[in-house]
Amino acid sequence: MAEQEHSHPPYILIWVVLLVLTLAEVAMSLYMTNVSKVVLAVGLIFMAVWKAALVAMYYMHLRYEPARLWILAISPIPLAFILVLAVISEF
Amino acid sequence: MSNAAVATMDRKPMPGMMVYNKKLGMWVFLLSEVMFFTSLIGSYVILRFAHPDHWTEVGTVLNVQLTALNTFFLICSSVTMVKAFAAIQAGDQKGLQRWLLATILIGATFVGIQVVEYMALSGEGFVPMLDSYHAVGRGNPHEGPSLGGPLYGATFYAMTGFHGAHVSIGVLCLIFVYIQSLRGVYTVQDHEGVEVIGLYWHFVDLVWIFLFTIVYLI
């Protein structure tokens, strides 16, 4: 393969982190009922973003890809915001 | 760079994005998938803000524990997928086959649990249709907590259903790659197919991370 040589990412360590974050999310959602809904939602989405970033960076090897692919990969994020904002403005 | 130099270059890296064509193609496809799921999630957020009365407290309708277990399975299947990729990078054909088979089995388990969940929920009257929402089971106030309103069911099945379809298609593609691996198609030099299906599989996992949080936990 022509891709750059790199040592394997710490796959198992990332798996453990994903599991811990998932358990933390479930515990927060089920047991932190005295926290306001907005704070809880922001916290949960923040953790989900971190989990997604770990999957993209290490399992999808984005971290080891050329910068151009990396830019391509994040390009739909602003587009996604525009789509949602456009729909909200119609609403 | 001279034409001769270009001609002698490995055929895989392409000018421009510097990755081979299949990988670039998969990435572009996945980016279109981001927009697809954004439209679903965006619609969900808007509907939920507009009609908060259709949703109930976390854990009263949807089985969070069962789906947390299912999330665990999907994360595990991502690990077995990267292990399959690492195996063929090292030229380990048997390892590739073993990890691919594990990924297929875990992926199929995820879909199976989702089917069980759908059957249990629809049996309680939690269905995607407006007319028959509440038609059976918990529609009666004496039979358990409220199921909320029909938008809850409609958005739930739309989002998890499309994701489940993606997982199912992924399992079918993985079965194809597994058969190819049994035929010895993939080698240390050429294992693009394994990497490309891996990208798809991890993306499906990535989408689930958001769906699980948004649909089940918030």
pLDDT 10s digits, B55-73: 988 888 899 999 999 999 9
Q: How confident is the model at residue A91 (pLDDT cuts 50, 70, 90)?
A: low
Q: How confident is the model at residue B6 (pLDDT cuts 50, 70, 90)?
A: very low
CATH of B59-217, one of 1.20.120.80, 3.40.605.10, 1.10.1200.10, 2.60.40.10: 1.20.120.80
pLDDT 10s digits, B22-54: 999 999 999 999 999 999 999 999 999 899 988
Q: What is the pLDDT of residue B145?
A: 65
Decide: residue A60, CB within 10 A, 0-12 exposed, 13-18 middle, 19+ buried: buried
Reply yes or no on whether the pLDDT at B94 is more than 50.
yes
Report helix, strand or coil for B44: helix
**Helix pair angle (B64-89, A11-31), 10° resolution:** 170
Mean pLDDT for chain B? 88
- Closest CB to A75: pick one of B16, B31, B191: B31
Contact B52, B109 (CB under 8 A): no
**What percentage of chain A exceeds 70 in pLDDT?**
91
Reply yes or no on whether the pLDDT at A4 is more than 60.
no
User: Structure pTM?
Assistant: 0.89
Q: Domain coordinates of chain B in residue numbers?
A: 59-217
Q: What is the pLDDT of residue A16?
A: 96
More confident residue, B180 or A4: B180
- Give Cβ neighbours of residue B185 (< 8 Å, ≥ 6 apart): B193
- Closest CB to B217: pick one of A44, A60, A83: A44
Q: How confident is the model at residue B1 (pLDDT cuts 50, 70, 90)?
A: very low
Mind telling me how many Å the CA of A52 is from chain B's nearest CA?
5
Mind telling me how many Å the CA of A79 is from chain B's nearest CA?
8
Q: How confident is the model at residue B138 (pLDDT cuts 50, 70, 90)?
A: low
Reply yes or no on whether the pLDDT at A3 is more than 50.
no
Q: What is the pLDDT of residue B149?
A: 83
The stretches of chain B forming alpha helices (DSSP H) are 3-8, 21-50, 64-89, 93-123, 150-182, 192-211
Tokens read off for B137: 């089971």
**In whole angstroms, how large is the CA radius of gyration of chain B?**
21
Contact B120, B66 (CB under 8 A): no
Q: From the CB of residue B20, how many other CB atoms can be counted at a distance below 10 Å?
A: 20
| B contacts of A79 (beta carbons < 8 Å) | 35, 38
Beta carbons of B213 and A88 less than 8 Å apart: no
- Interface check for B46 against chain A (CB to CB < 8 A): the answer is yes
Q: How confident is the model at residue B118 (pLDDT cuts 50, 70, 90)?
A: very high
Beta carbons of A88 and B71 less than 8 Å apart: no
Contact A3, B19 (CB under 8 A): yes
Q: What is the pLDDT of residue B3?
A: 45
Mutate to test the interface with A, among B88, B191, B209, B211 (most CBs of A within 10 A): B209
Query: Which of the given ranges, A32-41, B58-67, B83-92, has the highest pLDDT on average?
Result: B83-92
Reply yes or no on whether the pLDDT at B7 is more than 50.
no
More confident residue, B189 or B139: B189
Q: What is the pLDDT of residue B13?
A: 59
| B contacts of A41 (beta carbons < 8 Å) | 218
Mind telling me how many Å the CA of A49 is from chain B's nearest CA?
8
Beta carbons of A29 and B64 less than 8 Å apart: yes
Tokens read off for B15: 């000018």
